[in-house]
């Protein structure tokens, strides 16, 4: 195994949910319209992701597992306007260094490839049938990093973390048909018809979806669109807020707070809504290269954004009969 890959894995792959996140993001970046996620034992036994995306050409498959091999950005300028979810070229080598990974991939015309890594070592590479997309299976996660394995929580907690990330990705991409299966049981299925409200309904239930208010506004720098629930019905916590910046799911305490403020000031309560907020801005205003997992970002003009959000949430809710 290559030591630097294992060190990067320490940052990128904390738990099974990190593997799911990275692999599903790769499937999204590959232009997939359908992504199936199949888990066994909360991902500890196996994680399988099947997509119908672009696939990888035979000549590029081995390279894709090399550190900093990314097909997604090619210049320093690109780094400031990252449009894909991945760009660091770290996920595949990191995962392959701490697990057993088999990928079957094809771009739909050339002969396909099947490649097998274990603990960072290339075990086998051979031709495979032509298919449209990629099928990747990860087993024996953390088999060679026992400390990581010990640090994991209960299977229920690990599964909850996976569900959380798949939910957010489904909310971010209503045009993609997602399915999530655990030990043969279906946990989520979305239609891929591009209807955000329907995805909200798939995740939070029909009754919550019925109580959503549409949010839409813009100022000179930002455009915001999404849904916020009417307060009286929900028993949500902070986790029910999803924030997407230029299509990328992020965690941002300040933006969450702006939503809650717009919401709470109307009712003088501090309860949380179910909320999904899509924020669009010039990529130059946001730095996504803050942390390897890319969930933290830095936004310029954050105060102007937060004012827009809390005012819009407040006004849209005021317009409803509460
Ligand atoms: P990054 O996503 O940051 O580029 P990764 O290590 O996650 O780095 O992936 C390396 C490369 O492998 C990607 O740039 C892409 O070209 C290719 N790749 C990985 N997964 C897929 C997939 N499911 N479909 C098509 N190409 C893929
Ligand atoms: Mg990636």
Are residues 6 and 97 in contact, defined by beta-carbon separation less than 8 angstroms? yes
Checking if the pLDDT of 196 tops 70, the result is: yes
Which residue has its alpha carbon closest to ligand 1 atom 23? Answer: 27
Checking if the pLDDT of 306 tops 90, the result is: yes
Q: Which atom belonging to ligand 1 lies closest to the Cα atom of 87? A: 3
Q: What pLDDT score does 296 carry?
A: 77
Position with higher pLDDT, 209 vs 38: 38
Q: How far is CA 44 from the centre of its chain?
A: 19
CA 241 to centroid of ligand 2, rounded, Å: 24
Task: Please give the CATH topology (third level) of the domain spanning 196-318.
Answer: Ribosomal Protein S5; domain 2 (3.30.230)
pLDDT average, residue stretch 43-71: 91
Residues in contact with ligand 1 (CB, 6 Å cut-off): 22, 26-27, 29-30, 51, 53-56, 64, 69-72, 86-92, 134
Percentage with pLDDT > 70 across the chain: 87
Which residue has its alpha carbon closest to ligand 1 atom 18? Answer: 26
Residue to probe by mutation, ligand 1, list 18, 21, 26, 72, most atoms within 8 Å of CB: 26
Which residue has its alpha carbon closest to ligand 1 atom 15? Answer: 71
Ligand nearest to the CA of 90: 1
Which residue has its alpha carbon closest to ligand 1 atom 8? Answer: 89
Residue to probe by mutation, ligand 1, list 20, 21, 24, 29, most atoms within 8 Å of CB: 29
Which residue has its alpha carbon closest to ligand 1 atom 2? Answer: 86
Q: Which atom belonging to ligand 1 lies closest to the Cα atom of 92? A: 6
Highest mean pLDDT among 83-97, 210-224, 259-273: 210-224
CATH of domain 3-189: 3.30.565.10
CA 32 to centroid of ligand 2, rounded, Å: 14
Residue to probe by mutation, ligand 1, list 20, 78, 85, 92, most atoms within 8 Å of CB: 92
Residue to probe by mutation, ligand 1, list 57, 70, 106, most atoms within 8 Å of CB: 70
pLDDT band at 295 (very low <50, low <70, confident <90, very high): confident
Ligand nearest to the CA of 93: 1
Ligand nearest to the CA of 21: 2
Ligand nearest to the CA of 95: 1
Domain ranges in the chain are 3-189, 196-318
Are residues 266 and 314 in contact, defined by beta-carbon separation less than 8 angstroms? yes
CA 65 to centroid of ligand 1, rounded, Å: 8
Measure the CA–CA gap between 249 and 171, rounded to whole angstroms.
Answer: 9
Measure the CA–CA gap between 20 and 13, rounded to whole angstroms.
Answer: 10
Enter the pTM of the model: 0.90
pLDDT band at 211 (very low <50, low <70, confident <90, very high): confident
**pLDDT averaged over the chain?**
88
Checking if the pLDDT of 273 tops 80, the result is: yes
Ligand nearest to the CA of 94: 1
């Amino acid at each position: 195994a290559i030591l630097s890959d294992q060190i990067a894995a320490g940052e990128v792959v904390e738990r099974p949910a990190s593997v799911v996140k990275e692999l599903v993001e790769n499937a999204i970046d590959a232009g997939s319209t359908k992504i199936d996620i199949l888990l066994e034992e909360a991902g500890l036994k196996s994680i399988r992701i099947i997509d119908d995306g672009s696939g990888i050409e035979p000549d590029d498959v081995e390279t894709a597992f090399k550190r900093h091999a990314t097909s997604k950005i090619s210049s320093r300028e690109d780094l400031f306007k990252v449009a894909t979810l991945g760009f660091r070229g770290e996920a595949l080598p990191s995962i392959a260094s701490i697990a057993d990974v088999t990928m079957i991939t094809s771009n739909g015309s050339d002969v396909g490839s099947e490649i097998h890594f274990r603990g960072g070592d290339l075990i086998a590479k051979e031709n495979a049938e032509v298919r449209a997309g990629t099928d990747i299976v990860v087993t024996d996660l953390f088999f060679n990093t026992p400390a990581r394995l010990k640090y994991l929580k209960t299977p229920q907690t690990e599964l909850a973390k996976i569900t959380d990330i798949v939910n957010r990705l489904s909310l971010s991409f209503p045009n993609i048909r997602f399915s999530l299966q655990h030990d043969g049981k279906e946990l989520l299925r979305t239609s891929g018809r591009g209807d955000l409200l329907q995805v909200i309904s798939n995740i939070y239930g029909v009754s919550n979806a019925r109580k959503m208010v549409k949010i839409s506004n813009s100022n000179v720098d930002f455009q915001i669109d999404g849904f916020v629930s009417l307060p009286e019905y929900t028993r949500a916590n902070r986790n029910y807020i999803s924030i997407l910046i230029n299509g990328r799911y992020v965690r941002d305490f300040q933006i969450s707070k702006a939503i809650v403020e717009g919401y709470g000031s109307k009712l003088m309560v501090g309860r949380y809504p179910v909320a999904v907020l899509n924020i669009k801005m010039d990529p130059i205003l946001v730095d996504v290269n803050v942390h390897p997992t890319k969930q933290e970002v830095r936004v310029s003009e954050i105060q102007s954004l937060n004012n827009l959000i809390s005012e819009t949430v407040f006004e849209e809710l005021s317009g409803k009969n509460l």
